[in-house]
Amino acid sequence: MASTARTWFYKEPEHRPYFIEERLHSTFWVARLPQVRFDCIRAEPPFLCRGTWRTLPFEMEWQPRQWLIVRAPQDLPEDMLLGFSRVLGFKPAFRYEDPQGRMVYEWHLDGGKARWSAIQGVPIYKRPERLN
């Protein structure tokens, strides 16, 4: 049986790295993103995985039922961004460049209004842009 975001984002997954990785792989492969690979780094909330999509390295962190953040060394390709949105069932709230020069995309179940307000005017967050 294929896994969906319901097994790791909309509810808290088991705190076992292998199970988390398998759920993520299954979810993204079924969503037609077979080029994605995940390695679980932190198996407790907020969960953290490092991965690659084709040749692009990225980091994915999430708090179940609240938010998901993807950090990458460049803008996410459109098909990757659409794939993540398809998996979660909603679009990212915003993106910005972090102090390490990575592009950061944030998905928030509540729309991200409080988080968006928190990063406004803070100079370490460059080029913030609303996406929803």
Tens digits of residue pLDDT in 1-47: 568 999 999 999 999 999 999 999 999 999 999 899 999 999 999 99
How would you classify residue 37: left for phi > 0, otherwise alpha for psi between -120 and 50, otherwise beta?
beta
Give the pLDDT score at 106: 98
Residue 48, both tokens: 């953290």
Q: pTM above the 0.75 mark?
A: yes
CA trace torsion 89, 62, 21, 5 (10° rounding): -20
Give the pLDDT score at 1: 52
Amino acid occupying residue 9: F
Question: Average pLDDT, stretch 99-127?
Answer: 95
Tens of pLDDT, residue by residue over 48-71, are 999 999 999 999 999 999 999 999
Give the pLDDT score at 90: 97
Domain boundaries, the chain: 5-130
CA trace torsion 94, 43, 40, 60 (10° rounding): 0
| Mean pLDDT over the full length of the chain | 95
Spatial distance between the Cα atoms of 84 and 91, rounded to a whole number of angstroms: 8
Q: Is the Cβ–Cβ distance between 65 and 112 less than 8 Å?
A: no
